[in-house]
């Protein structure tokens, strides 16, 4: 016991010398801070590959043209996408964990509309490659590919079976969602780059057109314009039409007679558009018949909600078995243990003057069947590699005709990706994929900097008012609202120069480099205390192991 007390007294006596030695040696640092650039979840989720965070930052600062130019570097039609994209970016937005997601599509629409008002144009390429590319299909994917190829200096010609460009954006999306003047104005910028567009030209022999036109590569994006059919026993007077033909006719200026009672068979976005269009044509009783549940429907929830607000009724777990206008017979379905609908043998009678079939679409790829090397999946879609090239060298494909989700934004993303790979192929180079940064998760943010500022909503016309015409339902954000929404961005994973690290460092180890240049660390002063990391609101600083293992300051 006495020996232990003697040892303790010795240690206490030696403590001042030990502390002095450590002070002389300087602080010990096993980790040090470093600035990082993480991948914002909105960027990661965008099918068009937009740098959302970058153009939101420009918009917040009021640099609207710079924001628009950052946006169209990836997507040539922001006014269109601000209206029709289902904005998966907002579904991944970290701000939703704090209060509500940033209205990214609202700001995108504002920038797109501002560009149309101001007459901003795409810059013409300064250098021409001398290469010619044929694009078959003038929908979102074909237009995107033509745009990105033209900006890379290639000579591009787009050929399409339709008389006017736009594909399903023109003939499948109703004007109350996408006004035609907006669509036409955004498309018009692409020929201004030198892209030649030829309408009413259906490609029948791809190899012949490629050879006769002297094209060095081809991108095929003909979309899915063939409606799937189903045999429904129907009387001679029963009026059965397909949804795509119906919507195309209305978009072309026709005013088909559908009667007072309309049934739409299907559960996708096209079914919702057909039902809402029928309401505008005078159908006072419009019903959607779908064989599965709401949770299983392929339509986006907001589309179904809009249809219901406009008076469309949805009959879940029902299938049409016969149509003898003005009545149809439906069978009640139930889900089996796997969630698949099965018949119950119970039937109901519903009134209907017209049945509109909205059961999905197929692609007319017959003209590709004779192209050597092109192969097809079981569902008829075209098989492509990771570079979007088919089995035929120089023939690429994208959009609705390849396996993927069928949306405008996915199509635009395919066109952009294909253009990059076509450009590399024409130059005899291997297209290298850029390595992605780790994604910035909500849990890594330190949100002391941000208050609760709730989202600004876009105004909508009252449902009763909408049904009298095809004018646009949703209005855009004002300049003040768009700036406010852009300012709600959390800048996840990327420094926005808030000066928090600069002001918090107790050792003055953070060196400010000037506006736009951010900061650097002076590691001779830094003690690794991690104060900068802990206060950084956006996780733009990470603590990493000391390269030498241990560092002792002086």
Question: Residue 527: which CATH number?
Answer: 3.30.70.20
Indicate whether 367 pLDDT > 80. yes
Q: Are residues 392 and 462 in the same domain?
A: no
In a domain, 288, yes or no: yes
Which is higher by pLDDT, 181 or 516?
181
pLDDT digits over 86-134, tens only? 999 999 999 999 899 999 999 999 999 999 999 999 998 888 999 999 9
- pLDDT at residue number 223: 81
Pairing of the two strands 318-324 and 341-351: unpaired
Decide if pLDDT at 1 tops 60: no
Closest C-alpha among 286, 244, 249, 250 to residue 268: 244
Domain boundary among 339, 361, 383: 361
- What span, in angstroms and rounded, lies between the C-alpha atoms of 223 and 111? 28
Report the C-alpha gap between 100 and 106 in whole angstroms. Answer: 14
For residues 355 and 231, membership in a common domain is answered with yes
In terms of phi and psi (left: phi > 0; alpha: psi -120 to 50; beta: otherwise), the region of 94 is alpha
> 336 and 322 share a domain?
yes
Is residue 377 predicted with pLDDT exceeding 70?
yes
Contact 459, 448 (CB under 8 A): no
What confidence tier does 2 reach under pLDDT thresholds 50, 70, 90?
A: very low
The pLDDT of residue 26 is 62
The arithmetic mean of pLDDT across residues 50-71, rounded, is 97
Q: Is 501 helix (H, G, I), strand (E, B) or coil?
A: helix
Q: Domain for residue 303, yes or no? A: yes
Structure confidence by residue, pLDDT tens digits, 8-18: 344 444 434 43
Burial group, residue 60, by CB count within 10 angstroms (0-12, 13-18, 19+)? buried
What are the DSSP calls for 273-320, one per residue?
HHHHHHHHTT-SEEEEE-SS-GGG-SS-HHHHHHHHHTT-EEE-SEEE
Residues in CB range of 482: below 8 A, 6 or more apart: 59, 106, 107, 110, 111
Let me know whether 162 and 233 are in one domain: no
Q: Is 263 in the same domain as 308?
A: yes
Q: What residues have CB less than 8 Å from 398, skipping those under 6 apart?
A: 141, 145, 219, 220, 221, 384, 388, 411, 414, 415, 417, 418
Q: Is the separation of the CB atoms in 513 and 502 below 8 Å?
A: no
Strand partners, 227: 361
Residue finishing a domain among 344, 361, 378: 361
Q: Which residue has the tokens 């650039």?
A: 37
Same domain assignment for residues 300 and 377: no
Burial of 462 per CB tally in 10 Å (0-12, 13-18, 19+): exposed
Which residues constitute the domain of residue 533? 24-38+495-552
Q: Quote the mean pLDDT of the chain.
A: 90
67 has pLDDT over 50? yes
Residue 396 lies in a domain: yes
346-363 burial: b if 16+ Cβ within 10 Å, else e: eeeebebbbbbbbbbbbb
Looking at residue 236, its pLDDT comes to 66
Q: Quick check: 465 pLDDT over 60?
A: yes
> Do both 233 and 353 map to the same domain?
yes
Alpha carbons 89 and 83: distance in angstroms, whole number: 14
Sign of the dihedral through C-alpha 252, 258, 259, 264: negative
Please tell me the predicted confidence (pLDDT) of residue 269. Answer: 93
For residues 325 and 245, membership in a common domain is answered with: yes
Q: Does residue 209 have a pLDDT over 70? A: yes
Per the structure, the count of domains in the chain is: 4
- Check pLDDT > 90 for residue 60: yes
Residue range 488-537, pLDDT digits in tens: 999 999 999 999 999 999 999 999 999 989 999 999 999 999 999 999 99
Q: Are residues 141 and 221 in the same domain?
A: yes
* CATH number of the domain bearing residue 117: 1.10.1060.10
237 pLDDT band, cuts 50/70/90, is low
Average pLDDT over residues 28-37: 93
Average pLDDT over residues 298-319: 93
Q: Strand (E) positions, 125-203?
A: 132-136, 155-159, 196-198
Is residue 315 within 8 A of residue 304, CB to CB? The reply is: no
Structural domain includes residue 127: no
For residue 437, is it within any domain?
no
Over range 159-173, report the average pLDDT. Answer: 93
Q: Which residues contact 222 (CB under 8 A, 6 or more apart)?
A: 136, 137, 139, 161, 203, 363, 364, 365, 399, 401
pLDDT number for residue 259: 92
Domain CATH code at residue 234: 3.50.50.60
Domain match, 483 and 500 both:
no
| Beta strand 541-545 pairing with 31-35 | antiparallel
Q: Judge whether 158 and 196 are in contact, CB under 8 Å.
A: yes
Same domain, 194 and 145: yes
For residue 337, tell me if it sits in a domain: yes
pLDDT of residue 268: 92
pTM over 0.85: yes
Residue 53: band (very low, low, confident or very high) from pLDDT cuts 50, 70, 90: very high
Q: What is the enclosing helix (H) or strand (E) of 6?
A: helix 2-25
Total count of residues recorded for the chain: 554
pLDDT of 6 above 60: no
Confidence bin at 351 (pLDDT 50/70/90): very high
**Domain-ending residue, one of 436, 461, 487:** 487
Whether residue 13 lies inside any domain: the answer is no
User: Does residue 343 register a pLDDT over 90?
Assistant: yes
Q: Are strands 196-198 and 155-159 parallel, antiparallel or unpaired?
A: parallel
For residues 348 and 236, state if they share a domain.
yes
Span 466-474, mean pLDDT?
93
For residue 462, being part of any structural domain is answered with yes
Q: Does the pLDDT of residue 363 top 50, yes or no?
A: yes
């Amino acid at each position: 016991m006495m020996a232990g007390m003697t040892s303790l007294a010795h240690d206490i006596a030696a403590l001042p010398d030990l502390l002095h030695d450590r002070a002389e040696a300087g602080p010990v640092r096993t980790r040090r801070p470093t600035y990082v650039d993480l991948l914002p979840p909105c960027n990661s989720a965008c099918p068009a590959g937009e740098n959302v965070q970058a153009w939101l930052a420009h918009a917040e600062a009021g640099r609207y043209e710079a924001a628009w130019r950052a946006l169209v570097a990836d997507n040539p039609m922001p006014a269109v996408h601000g209206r029709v994209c289902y904005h998966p970016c907002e579904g991944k937005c970290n701000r939703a964990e704090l209060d509500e997601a940033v209205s990214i599509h609202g700001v995108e629409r504002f920038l797109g509309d501002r560009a149309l008002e101001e007459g901003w144009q795409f810059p013409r390429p300064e250098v021409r490659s001398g290469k010619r590319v044929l694009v078959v299909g003038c929908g979102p994917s074909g237009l995107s590919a033509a745009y990105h190829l033209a900006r890379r200096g290639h000579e591009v010609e787009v050929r399409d079976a339709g008389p006017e460009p736009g594909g399903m954006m023109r003939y499948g999306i109703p004007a109350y969602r996408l006004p035609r003047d907006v669509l036409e104005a955004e498309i018009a910028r692409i020929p201004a780059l030198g892209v030649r567009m030829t309408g009413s030209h259906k490609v029948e022999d791809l190899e012949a057109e490629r050879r006769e036109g002297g094209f060095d590569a081809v991108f095929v994006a003909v979309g899915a314009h063939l409606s799937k059919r189903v045999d429904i026993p129907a009387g001679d007077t029963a009026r059965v039409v397909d949804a795509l033909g119906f919507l195309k006719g209305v978009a072309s200026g026709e005013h088909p007679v559908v009667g007072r009672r309309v049934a739409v068979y299907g559960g996708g976005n096209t079914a919702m558009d057909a039902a809402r269009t029928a309401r505008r044509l005078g159908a006072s009783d419009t019903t959607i018949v779908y064989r599965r549940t709401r949770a299983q429907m392929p339509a986006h929830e907001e589309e179904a909600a809009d249809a219901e607000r406009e008076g469309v009724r949805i009959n879940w777990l029902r299938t049409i078995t016969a149509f003898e206008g003005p009545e149809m017979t439906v069978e009640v379905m139930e889900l089996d243990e796997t969630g698949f609908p099965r018949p119950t043998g119970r039937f109901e009678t519903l009134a209907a003057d017209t049945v509109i079939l909205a059961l999905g679409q197929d692609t007319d790829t017959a003209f590709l069947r004779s192209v050597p090397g092109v192969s097809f999946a079981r569902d008829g879609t075209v098989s492509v590699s990771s570079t979007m090239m088919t089995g035929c060298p120089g023939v690429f494909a994208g959009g609705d005709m390849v396996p993927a989700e069928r949306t405008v934004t996915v199509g635009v993303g395919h066109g952009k990706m294909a253009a990059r790979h076509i450009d590399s192929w024409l130059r005899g180079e291997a297209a290298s994929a850029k390595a992605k940064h780790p994604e910035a998760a909500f849990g890594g943010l330190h949100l002391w900097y941000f208050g609760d500022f709730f989202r600004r909503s876009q105004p909508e016309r009252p449902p009763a008012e909408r049904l009298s015409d095809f004018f646009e339902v949703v209005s855009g954000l004002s300049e003040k609202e768009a700036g406010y929404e852009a300012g709600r961005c959390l800048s996840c994973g990327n420094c926005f120069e808030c000066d928090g690290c600069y002001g918090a460092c107790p050792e003055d180890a953070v060196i400010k480099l000037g506006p736009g240049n951010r900061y650097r660390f002076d590691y001779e002063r830094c003690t690794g205390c991690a104060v900068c990391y802990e206060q950084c609101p956006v996780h733009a600083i990470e603590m990493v192991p000391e390269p030498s293992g241990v560092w002792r300051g002086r």
